[in-house]
């Protein structure tokens, strides 16, 4: 299952567009809310479902569709749907498949706002959520009977716990639960969960798919049947549709996704290894530095990981001394970012934040951008020195 990334194939998918009216190398932004009809008959046939064509951009828009088709092909899925944010993709997907009295099984340490959705709105709608350690197959198997939906990330946000995605997807299928995975971290360049047996794969397209920190968007991909249910059951009424301009930015972002992912991988691994060898660092949470091999189906690693300092570092002083890394949430763009764990812990609200987040007081999450590992390491080394009070100098 661990096939090598086929960069050439990925580049073909992201570069190719159907011919557009002007044979422009960049597809047009069809920036319109509605589409008109030539005749009554044309209009009636469209509304009766006899033909498919755009009528209103909350439903179908040609620029959005180009993005959706590219993403579906990259994810080896039959179809995809674009959303106004990753959270719109998550909430619309979950709300399509669960109803009051249902239960969701979710791996621990998921993206904090997905967790807050489960603990807030979903609880109010009488949907229960059971959190499991996704690495413990017995625990997952014990939680699954009766569950409607199985929700996972691999690796998980912040603590980077990786999962055997194909085995978990098979377990969910055995118990009749729809399996959903958030694949924002790996991107389809390094992991294609539908090919591993997951029913649905979703993304915060605000991260690697966009890649330039200039768009907030989301997407979900899967079989024509399941995507059809989200398209007709939740998307039109929750209304979080991807806009034509944002879709256009995503198409542009996708053009370089394969080579950006490779560059993030190389630089982040270099930084992670240097951190692991630094005397001030207690541990590094990077999937390549934990365990011997990447889990089945994960063929590469991206630019996001976290590490934990030993006691004694002044984290605010470390953070303020960074000059190439900026302090900021989100990730997936060209720029390098750092987030001290304690600021996220301070924000964390919810009945049991520790369960879902697992964020250590002395940890820092890094997104390694495209500035080059040597420059970034000099920045980190100097900032660690500042955090230690430059004792050696």
Ligand X SMILES: *Cc1c(COP(=O)(O)O)cnc(C)c1O
Residues 225-284 that bind ligand X (CB under 6 A): none
Residue range at the interface with ligand X (CB under 6 A); choices 79-87, 93-101, 164-172, 309-317: 79-87
Closer residue to ligand X in complex, CB, 160/178: 160
Residue range at the interface with ligand X (CB under 6 A); choices 1-9, 22-30, 202-210, 223-231: 202-210
Give the whole-angstrom CA distance, residue 273 versus residue 285: 11
The conformation of residue 325, written as its DSSP 8-state character, comes to: S
Q: Does residue 92 interact with ligand X by CB under 6 A? A: no
- The CB-of-272 to ligand X minimum distance in angstroms stands at 18
Residues binding ligand X: number (CB under 6 A): 13
- The CB-of-311 to ligand X minimum distance in angstroms stands at 29
Q: Which of 58, 173, 262, 345 is catalytic?
A: 58
Q: Give the closest residue to 351 by CA, choosing from 82, 152, 123, 21.
A: 123
**Known catalytic membership, residue 138:** no
Closer residue to ligand X in complex, CB, 333/387: 333
Q: Does residue 356 interact with ligand X by CB under 6 A? A: no
Closer residue to ligand X in complex, CB, 135/203: 203
220 beta partners: 81, 202
- Cα dihedral across residues 350, 306, 202, 295: positive or negative: negative
CB 291: neighbour CB atoms within 10 A? 10
Q: Does residue 63 interact with ligand X by CB under 6 A? A: no
Residues 6+ apart with CB under 8 A from 111: 153, 157, 182, 204
Residues 365-384 that bind ligand X (CB under 6 A): none
Closer residue to ligand X in complex, CB, 63/183: 183
Give the whole-angstrom CA distance, residue 109 versus residue 161: 8
**Binds ligand X by CB under 6 A, chosen from 63, 85, 92, 179:** 85
Q: Does residue 184 interact with ligand X by CB under 6 A? A: yes
Closer residue to ligand X in complex, CB, 96/184: 184
- The CB-of-331 to ligand X minimum distance in angstroms stands at 7
Q: Does residue 336 interact with ligand X by CB under 6 A? A: no
Residue 378 · residue 385 · CB < 8 Å = no
CB 38: neighbour CB atoms within 10 A? 7
Residue 150 · residue 143 · CB < 8 Å = no
Give the whole-angstrom CA distance, residue 318 versus residue 305: 17
- The CB-of-197 to ligand X minimum distance in angstroms stands at 20
Closer residue to ligand X in complex, CB, 281/363: 363
SS3 170: helix
With CB atoms as reference, the residue minimizing the distance to ligand X is: 86
Q: Give the closest residue to 184 by CA, choosing from 126, 107, 261, 242.
A: 261
**Known catalytic membership, residue 207:** yes
Q: Which of 70, 103, 108, 111 is catalytic?
A: 111
Q: Does residue 206 interact with ligand X by CB under 6 A? A: yes
Q: Which DSSP string corresponds to 3-14?
A: PPP-HHHHHHHH
Q: Which of 65, 207, 241, 365 is catalytic?
A: 207
Q: Does residue 186 interact with ligand X by CB under 6 A? A: no
Q: Does residue 204 interact with ligand X by CB under 6 A? A: yes
Main-chain dihedrals φ then ψ at residue 28, nearest 5 degrees: -70, 150
CB 52: neighbour CB atoms within 10 A? 9
**Binds ligand X by CB under 6 A, chosen from 182, 246, 265, 379:** 182
Main-chain dihedrals φ then ψ at residue 82, nearest 5 degrees: -90, 145
Closer residue to ligand X in complex, CB, 197/333: 333
Q: Does residue 191 interact with ligand X by CB under 6 A? A: no
**Known catalytic membership, residue 116:** no
**Binds ligand X by CB under 6 A, chosen from 216, 261, 359, 388:** 216
SS3 184: coil
Give exposure, 3-35, as e/b (b: 16+ Cβ within 10 Å).
eebeeeebeebbeeeeeeeeeeeebebbeeeeb
Radius of gyration over every alpha carbon of the chain, rounded to an integer in angstroms: 22
Q: Does residue 157 interact with ligand X by CB under 6 A? A: yes
Residue 99 · residue 112 · CB < 8 Å = no
**Known catalytic membership, residue 241:** no
**Binds ligand X by CB under 6 A, chosen from 27, 82, 86, 188:** 86
Enzyme catalytic residues: 58, 111, 182, 207
- Where do contacts with ligand X occur on this chain (CB under 6 A)? 85-87, 111, 153, 157, 182, 184, 204, 206-207, 216, 218
């Amino acid at each position: 299952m661990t096939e090598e990334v086929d960069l050439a194939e990925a580049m073909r998918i992201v570069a190719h567009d159907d011919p557009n009216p002007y044979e422009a190398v960049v597809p047009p932004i069809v920036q319109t809310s509605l589409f008109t009809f030539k005749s009554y008959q044309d209009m009636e046939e469209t509304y009766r479902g006899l033909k498919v064509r755009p009528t209103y951009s909350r439903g179908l828009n040609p620029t959005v569709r180009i993005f959706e088709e590219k993403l579906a092909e990259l994810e080896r899925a039959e179809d995809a749907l674009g959303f106004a944010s990753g959270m719109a993709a998550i909430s619309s997907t979950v709300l399509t498949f669960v109803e009051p009295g249902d239960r969701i099984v979710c791996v621990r340490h998921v993206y904090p706002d997905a967790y807050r959705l489960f603990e807030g709105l979903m609880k109010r709608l009488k949907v229960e959520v059971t959190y499991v350690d996704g690495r413990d197959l017995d625990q997952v198997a014990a939680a699954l009977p009766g569950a409607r939906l199985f929700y996972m990330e691999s690796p998980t946000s912040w603590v980077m716990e990786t999962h055997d995605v194909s085995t978990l997807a098979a377990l969910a299928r055995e118990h009749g639960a729809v399996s959903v995975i958030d694949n924002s971290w790996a991107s389809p360049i390094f992991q294609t969960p539908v090919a591993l047996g997951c029913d649905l794969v979703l993304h915060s397209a605000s991260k690697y798919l966009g890649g330039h920190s200039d768009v907030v968007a989301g997407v979900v991909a899967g079989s024509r049947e399941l995507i059809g249910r989200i398209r007709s059951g939740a998307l039109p009424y929750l209304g979080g549709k991807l806009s034509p301009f944002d879709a256009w930015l995503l198409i542009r972002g996708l053009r370089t996704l394969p080579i950006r992912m490779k560059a993030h991988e190389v630089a982040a691994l270099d930084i992670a290894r240097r951190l692991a060898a630094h005397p001030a660092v207690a541990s590094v949470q990077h999937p390549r530095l934990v365990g011997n091999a990447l889990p089945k189906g994960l063929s590469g690693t991206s630019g996001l990981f976290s590490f934990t300092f030993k006691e004694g570092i002044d984290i605010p002083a470390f953070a303020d001394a960074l000059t190439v890394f900026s302090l900021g949430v989100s990730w997936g763009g060209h720029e390098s970012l750092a987030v001290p764990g304690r600021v996220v812990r301070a924000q964390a609200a919810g009945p049991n934040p520790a369960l879902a987040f697992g964020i250590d007081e002395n940890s820092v999450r890094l997104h390694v951008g495209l500035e080059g590992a040597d420059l970034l390491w000099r920045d980190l080394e100097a900032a660690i020195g500042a955090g230690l009070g430059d004792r050696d100098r």
